[in-house]
């Protein structure tokens, strides 16, 4: 029997032994979609796994994509046949809309294709109030008629009324019921439009599930810059040399 043939048998045997003894972490799912309820402060995703290999798996790193998300494992080592989960906790804060966060998990699996797994948490956060437009404004000297900001409340928020306050006394804000359920009309009116002024409108819903405060803005624009005096100066400067040149010497 040749030496090359013996080497080939050895390589095949070692490869087969490695495949039999390998570790393998199998994930139930690597992406989770969540829809937090109104007033929830956190969204929590559970990523379950099982070691379907023949040797223990060790976690070497579990890292979240941002500071608003925390991730942790139940254990550092997973024995063959053992199950567990990685928990990802997203702190909602004042965020709304679709939020996508990731957690990168690294293990000591010798196969690079399995050593790193990216887990994805997607949370769809419906805002308590949708405010349109966020700014109402008047041109300088425009008739000071009221303008309307519409606030649409989340149907699950149980909002019965809104309190609106202006940061300056230059604007009056009044809230009326809207034309649709869960809708409010905020009537904003300036006291005077002959001077430029800006105000923040603080909007406080009475929802028992949240203490969020929202804001909009109102503004009277400054008067447009005048060019009359500038044009007069230019005309004067142009006319003066011409008048001097019109007097020929005798």
What is the per-residue pLDDT across 17-65, written as a single tens digit (0 to 9) for each?
A: 444 456 689 999 999 999 998 878 899 999 999 999 999 999 999 999 9
Per-residue pLDDT at 128 exceeds 60: yes
- Mean pLDDT score of the chain: 84
pLDDT at 224: 87
The residue with greater pLDDT, 199 or 14, is 199
Q: What is the pTM of this model?
A: 0.63
The residue with greater pLDDT, 158 or 236, is 158
Q: How confident is the model at residue 2 (pLDDT cuts 50, 70, 90)?
A: low
What is the per-residue pLDDT across 157-190, written as a single tens digit (0 to 9) for each?
A: 788 889 999 999 999 999 999 888 889 999 999 9
d(CA 55, CA 233): 90
d(CA 204, CA 23): 55
pLDDT at 237: 52
What is the per-residue pLDDT across 56-97, written as a single tens digit (0 to 9) for each?
A: 999 999 999 999 999 999 889 999 999 999 999 999 988 888
d(CA 142, CA 121): 50
- Give whole-number Cα distances, 25 to 1, 89, 149, 224, in Å: 41, 22, 54, 68
Per-residue pLDDT at 11 exceeds 60: no
Task: Identify whether the C-beta of residue 115 lies closer than 8 Å to the C-beta of residue 69.
Answer: no
pLDDT at 156: 79
pLDDT at 14: 41
């Amino acid at each position: 029997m040749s030496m090359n043939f013996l080497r080939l048998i050895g390589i095949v045997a070692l490869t087969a032994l490695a495949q039999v003894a390998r570790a393998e972490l199998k994930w139930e799912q690597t992406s989770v979609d969540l829809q937090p309820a109104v007033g929830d402060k956190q969204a929590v995703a559970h990523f379950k796994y099982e070691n379907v290999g023949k040797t223990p798996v060790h976690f070497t790193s579990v890292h979240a994509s941002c500071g608003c998300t925390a991730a942790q494992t139940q254990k550092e080592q997973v024995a063959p046949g053992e199950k567990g989960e990685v928990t990802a906790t997203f702190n909602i804060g004042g965020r709304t809309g679709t939020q996508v966060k990731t957690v990168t998990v690294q293990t000591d699996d010798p196969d690079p294709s399995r050593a790193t797994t990216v887990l994805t948490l997607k949370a769809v956060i419906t805002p308590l109030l949708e405010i349109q437009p966020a700014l109402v404004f008047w041109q300088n000297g425009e008739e000071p008629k009221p303008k309307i900001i519409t606030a649409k409340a989340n149907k699950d928020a149980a909002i019965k009324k809104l309190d609106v306050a202006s940061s300056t006394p230059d604007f009056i804000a009044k809230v009326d019921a809207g034309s649709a359920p869960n809708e409010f009309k905020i009537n904003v009116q300036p006291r005077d439009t002959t001077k430029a002024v800006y105000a923040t409108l603080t909007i406080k819903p009475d929802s028992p599930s949240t203490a969020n405060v929202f804001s909009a803005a109102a503004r009277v624009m400054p008067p447009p810059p005048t060019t009359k005096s500038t044009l007069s100066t230019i005309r004067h400067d142009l006319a003066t040399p011409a008048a001097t040149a019109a007097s020929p010497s005798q």
